[in-house]
């Protein structure tokens, strides 16, 4: 016979079955409880004490709990580890409940829907993907949303690898899937990308988005994302912006591998911001500006007009130091308007949020006045967007007290003079306080008890406090309320009358304040879209002043960008991030010169000499220029690129079983398949992941293919010195190398790029710097001398009039062959072998 389940546990099980993939936090009194498997897992993850319900039964129920006042920190920990949490609250006062207390889930918190992101200013994007029908294998819809700011965007993508790249760029932690994933797709999303996968196959009719500006697939994926958010949040979402279409081709295209290898927003070593382009350019003063700057770096522009407009404003702010300084001070007073608006929408806004809102709005006129004082038409578009919403400022300033606390139930929120009834209650409380003080003085005089005082607590209300030694002097009109160890508490009819007036005023004033605050919060909701528009304008101004501030700090110059020309001419260019870390005095600048007719630069030179830095420097300069930033150089003329493709550094993908070489070839293939004449390709040591001749053959074939079929501007660093001979055959290829200074057997890397090929690799010298034993290095030098009979570079196939004979030797060849037959090469010393080699060379 099965054990009987209590009504409370049955209620838990009924709710839990609707949320099988989430930890269910079940409110019981002052605790949120977890049961069964949830309790076992949560106890381990959150380091909770695991107990059991019905301990004496055959099947005790595992149980663990957390205090209700500290539940937030436990939820945060679960969310950060990639779990979902369903919060079931008590829907009625337990004292008034008939039978079991009604409970229901009030919110499902997931990694992609978490809005209380603490001190982080970064976006938390939730992504949804979908496709149209089973046959549409190559057409995906992707929508993303940040619940904490209301941002909502959608696009169509042509293949799953692009979908994966976009999700990675958005740094999403959760993906809502509207179709059945293949096993491979599921593995990529869950295992390789560590994403929480949530399903939303359908959506209710009333949540269907039908915007004419969107395609059918974009409307579909947006509707599924909205349905998922509504289903999990169960609250007003008035701060969500209308879904906006975007195209990745409208921006400089870079896949995730490119962004990662160039360390645009996170460094490869720790996954942190330090040492990235984002870290370098971030002199923003507002949270909205910081988020927008990151999105600018992730998505540089390709429109010449849009880039020009940004650069014009950066130049204006650079030229007006004092106005820029005042602008920075004004921006410092602006809080996170986007997240404040979302807190209002979610019903989470507390009094201090409104004070921050009012303070932010009060700084807007100063920002507008500074920009207007510069009297430039390029700034007029921005100044028009600076709406300081005077009606909202007036409402908050008249309603919310400057000393308001975070709580909304304890009073002290509403400013005196805002509501007449509240003022009357406060007057009663104030008078009551003076009545209490007068009664205390009168009773002291009447009784002669000098230590008598009137106190208050929740249990006993107002009372006379009299110590044990003074009890004999207690008057008859006092009555006992409580006895303590060394004192007693008394009441009186007069004190009770005053208490009744004061408690009524206190209770009613608190309730009235709460109601008035909720009215202010509701009225503020109508300004949410204006607040979001203002936030965007302030963020843009903040980003532009940031670029200007950084340009001044590091001495950057304004580049010249052209859509029609393909000339690259950078004088004294620097790697912006390396220079910032090392210091300008230590950094060796380099020119980058790719005339109209030169597409490929083949770079040779030793390891550690600066080839990779030189190539990354070029890519970062392009990205900086196309976000509207000034660049680290003495002079810079650049075309506008449509995409950047890179293959830099060794890496493998262990989860998918791909070797370093497979990853290398995949990334090279992406460039070859998608690059255009307007793209930038950067290949570093391509082909080194396989056998030498294989690698060299592939490298040569790739260079020839890019040269003949794509025509993209390309930097190709290689250790295969044989490839430098390609300059003779390929008209659009030029050789450059990293200069070295060799003296008395010691080599100094000059980190300077000069024309022509390198004469040798100096690999053994690098090994010497690394501290390898001398004996080993001597042996390596000997082996090198043997191996340096270089393989012949494969020439492009040519059409010959007649077949050449393979056996037409002159007499010198016959003598060489004879000598090779008779010499005992196995027993030669190293010196004898070297001498013999020279003899053969002389014969040739």
pLDDT tens column, 378-409: 999 999 999 999 999 999 999 999 988 777 77
pLDDT digits (tens, 9 = 90+) for 144-157: 999 999 999 999 99
CA 398 to chain centre: 38
Residue 181 is part of a domain; what is its CATH number? 3.30.420.110
What is the average per-residue pLDDT within 561-584? 90
What is the average per-residue pLDDT within 698-705? 90
**Highest mean pLDDT of the ranges 132-146, 474-488, 677-691, 803-817:** 474-488
- DSSP notation for 91-121: -S-TTT-SSSPPEEEEEEE-TTT----TT--
Report the alpha-carbon distance of residue 612 to residue 591 in Å, rounded: 15
pLDDT digits (tens, 9 = 90+) for 585-614: 678 899 999 999 999 999 987 766 678 889
pLDDT digits (tens, 9 = 90+) for 756-789: 887 666 677 777 777 788 888 777 777 777 666 5
pLDDT at 1: 40
pLDDT at 803: 47
pLDDT at 3: 61
Last residue of a domain, one of 520, 554, 588: 554
pLDDT at 720: 81
Same domain, 299 and 241: no
Is 701 a member of any domain?
Answer: yes
Q: Tell whether the model's pLDDT for residue 693 goes beyond 90.
A: no
Same domain, 513 and 564: no
Instruction: Please give the annotated binding residues, written as ranges.
Output: 605-612
* Higher pLDDT pick, 53 / 281: 281
Same domain, 241 and 102: no
pLDDT digits (tens, 9 = 90+) for 485-529: 888 999 999 888 888 888 877 788 888 888 999 999 999 999 999
Is 1 a member of any domain?
Answer: no
Is 142 a member of any domain?
Answer: yes
Same domain, 105 and 146: no
What is the average per-residue pLDDT within 412-428? 88
Same domain, 309 and 454: yes
Percent with pLDDT over 90 in the chain: 55
Same domain, 87 and 212: no
Report the alpha-carbon distance of residue 673 to residue 667 in Å, rounded: 10
For residue 722, name the pLDDT band (cuts at 50, 70, 90): confident
**Highest mean pLDDT of the ranges 131-140, 144-153, 748-757:** 144-153
pLDDT at 170: 92
Instruction: Please give the annotated binding residues for ATP, written as ranges.
Output: 605-612
What is the average per-residue pLDDT within 162-180? 92
Same domain, 530 and 433: yes
Burial of 157-183, coded b for 16+ CB within 10 Å and e otherwise, reads beebebbbbbbbbbebbbbbbbbebee
Is 276 a member of any domain?
Answer: no
Domain of 73 in residue numbering reads as: 7-109
**C-beta contacts of 63-67 below 8 A and 24+ residues apart:** 63/33, 63/34, 63/35, 63/39, 64/33, 64/34, 64/39, 64/40, 65/28, 65/31, 65/32, 65/33, 65/34, 66/25, 66/31, 66/32, 67/30, 67/31, 67/32
Report the alpha-carbon distance of residue 147 to residue 144 in Å, rounded: 10
Last residue of a domain, one of 496, 521, 554: 554
CB contact at 8 A, 24 and 34: yes
pLDDT at 430: 80
Same domain, 518 and 568: no
Same domain, 162 and 92: no
pTM of the predicted structure, to 2 decimals: 0.82
Report the alpha-carbon distance of residue 91 to residue 106 in Å, rounded: 9
Q: Could you tell me the end-to-end alpha-carbon distance of the chain, in angstroms, rounded to an integer?
A: 101
**Cβ partners under 8 Å of residue 528, min gap 6:** 150, 238, 239, 341, 344, 345
Same domain, 189 and 244: yes
Same domain, 550 and 574: no
pLDDT digits (tens, 9 = 90+) for 13-43: 999 999 999 999 999 989 999 999 999 999 9
Is 119 a member of any domain?
Answer: no
What is the average per-residue pLDDT within 239-262? 92
Is 114 a member of any domain?
Answer: no
Residue 530 is part of a domain; what is its CATH number? 1.10.1420.10
pLDDT at 522: 93
What is the average per-residue pLDDT within 220-225? 95
Is 207 a member of any domain?
Answer: yes
Residue 632 is part of a domain; what is its CATH number? 3.40.50.300
Is 167 a member of any domain?
Answer: yes
Same domain, 653 and 568: yes
pLDDT digits (tens, 9 = 90+) for 637-661: 999 999 999 988 655 444 454 567 7
What is the average per-residue pLDDT within 701-730? 91
Domain count along the chain: 5
Q: Tell whether the model's pLDDT for residue 815 goes beyond 90.
A: no
Last residue of a domain, one of 76, 109, 142: 109
Q: Phi and psi of 156, rounded to 5°?
A: -115, 140
User: Which segment of 162-166, 391-395, 539-543 scores lowest on mean pLDDT?
Assistant: 162-166
pLDDT digits (tens, 9 = 90+) for 53-104: 877 677 788 999 999 989 989 999 999 999 999 999 999 888 787 888 899 9
pLDDT digits (tens, 9 = 90+) for 331-361: 999 999 999 999 998 888 899 999 999 999 9
pLDDT at 806: 46
Percent with pLDDT over 70 in the chain: 90
Report the alpha-carbon distance of residue 487 to residue 119 in Å, rounded: 49
């Amino acid at each position: 016979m099965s054990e009987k389940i209590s009504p409370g546990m049955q209620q838990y099980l009924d709710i839990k079955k609707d949320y099988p993939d989430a930890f269910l936090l079940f409110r019981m009194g002052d605790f949120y409880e977890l049961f069964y498997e949830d309790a076992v897992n949560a106890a381990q993850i959150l380091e909770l004490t695991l107990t059991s319900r019905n301990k004496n039964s055959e099947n005790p129920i595992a149980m663990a709990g957390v205090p209700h006042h500290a539940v937030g920190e436990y939820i945060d920990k679960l969310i950060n580890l990639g779990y979902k949490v369903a919060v079931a609250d008590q829907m009625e006062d337990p004292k008034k409940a008939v039978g079991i207390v009604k409970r229901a889930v009030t919110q499902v918190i997931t990694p992609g829907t978490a809005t209380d992101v603490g001190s982080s200013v970064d976006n938390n994007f939730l992504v949804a993907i979908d496709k149209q029908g089973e046959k549409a294998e190559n057409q995906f819809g992707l929508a993303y949303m940040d619940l904490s700011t209301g941002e909502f965007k959608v696009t169509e993508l042509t293949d799953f690898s692009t979908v994966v790249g976009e999700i990675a760029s958005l740094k999403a932690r959760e993906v809502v899937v509207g179709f059945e994933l293949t096993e491979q797709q599921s593995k990529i999303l869950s295992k390789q990308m560590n994403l929480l996968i949530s399903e939303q196959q359908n959506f209710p009719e009333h949540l269907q988005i039908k915007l004419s500006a969107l395609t059918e697939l974009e409307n579909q994926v947006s509707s599924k994302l909205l349905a998922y958010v509504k289903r999990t949040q169960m609250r007003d979402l008035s701060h969500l912006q209308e879904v906006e279409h975007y195209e990745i081709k409208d921006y400089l295209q870079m896949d995730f591998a490119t962004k990662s290898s160039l360390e645009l927003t996170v460094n490869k070593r720790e996954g942190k911001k330090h040492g990235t382009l984002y870290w370098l350019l971030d002199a923003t003063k507002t949270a909205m500006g910081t988020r927008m700057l990151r999105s600018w770096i992730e998505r540089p522009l390709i429109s010449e007009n849009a880039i020009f407009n940004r650069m014009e404003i950066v130049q204006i702010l650079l030229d007006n130091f004092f106005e820029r300084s005042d602008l920075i001070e004004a921006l410092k007073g602006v809080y996170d308007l986007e997240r404040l608006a979302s807190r209002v929408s979610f019903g989470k806004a507390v009094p201090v949020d409104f004070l921050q809102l009012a303070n932010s709005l009060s700084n807007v006129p100063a920002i507008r006045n500074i920009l207007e004082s510069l009297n430039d038409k390029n700034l007029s578009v921005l100044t028009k967007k600076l709406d300081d919403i005077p009606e909202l400022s007036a409402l908050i300033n008249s309603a919310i007290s400057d000393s308001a606390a975070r709580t909304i139930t304890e009073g002290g929120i509403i400013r005196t003079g805002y509501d007449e009834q509240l003022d009357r209650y406060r007057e009663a409380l104030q008078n009551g306080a003076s009545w209490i003080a007068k009664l205390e003085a009168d009773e002291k005089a009447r009784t002669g008890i000098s230590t008598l005082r009137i106190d208050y607590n929740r249990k006993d209300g107002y009372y006379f406090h009299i110590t044990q030694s003074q009890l004999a002097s207690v008057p008859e009109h006092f009555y006992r309320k409580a006895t303590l160890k060394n004192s007693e508490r008394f009441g009186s009819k007069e004190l009770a009358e005053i208490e009744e007036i004061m408690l009524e005023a206190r209770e009613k004033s608190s309730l009235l304040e709460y109601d008035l605050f909720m009215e202010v919060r509701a009225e503020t909701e109508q300004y949410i879209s204006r607040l979001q528009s203002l936030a965007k304008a302030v963020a843009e101004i903040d980003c532009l002043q940031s670029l200007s501030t950084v340009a001044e700090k590091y001495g950057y110059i304004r580049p010249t960008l052209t859509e029609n020309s393909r000339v690259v001419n950078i004088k004294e260019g620097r790697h912006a991030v390396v220079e910032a870390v090392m210091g300008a005095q230590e950094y060796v600048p380099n020119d980058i010169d790719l005339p109209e007719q030169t597409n490929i630069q083949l770079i040779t030179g030793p390891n550690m000499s600066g080839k990779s830095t030189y190539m990354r420097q070029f890519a970062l300069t392009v990205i900086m220029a196309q976000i509207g930033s000034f660049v680290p150089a003495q002079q810079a003329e650049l075309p506008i690129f449509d995409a950047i493709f890179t293959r830099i550094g060794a890496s493998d993908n262990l989860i998918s079983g791909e070797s370093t070489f497979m990853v290398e070839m995949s990334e090279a293939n992406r460039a070859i398949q998608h690059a255009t004449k307007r793209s930038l390709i950067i290949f570093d040591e391509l082909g080194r992941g396989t056998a030498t001749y294989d690698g060299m053959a592939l490298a040569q074939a790739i260079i020839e293919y890019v040269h003949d079929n794509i025509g993209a501007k390309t930097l190709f660093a290689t250790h295969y010195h044989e490839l430098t001979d390609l300059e003779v055959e390929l008209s659009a290829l030029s050789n450059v190398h990293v200069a070295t200074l060799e003296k008395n057997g010691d080599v100094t890397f000059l980190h300077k790029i000069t024309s022509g090929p390198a004469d040798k690799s100096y690999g053994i010298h690098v090994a010497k710097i690394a501290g390898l034993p001398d004996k080993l290095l001597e042996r390596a030098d000997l082996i090198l001398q043997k191996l340096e009979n270089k393989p012949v570079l494969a020439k492009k196939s040519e059409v010959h009039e007649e077949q050449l004979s393979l056996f037409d030797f002159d007499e010198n060849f016959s003598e060489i062959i004879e000598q090779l037959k008779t010499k005992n090469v196995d027993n030669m010393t190293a010196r004898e072998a070297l001498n013999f080699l020279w003899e053969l060379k002389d014969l040739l």
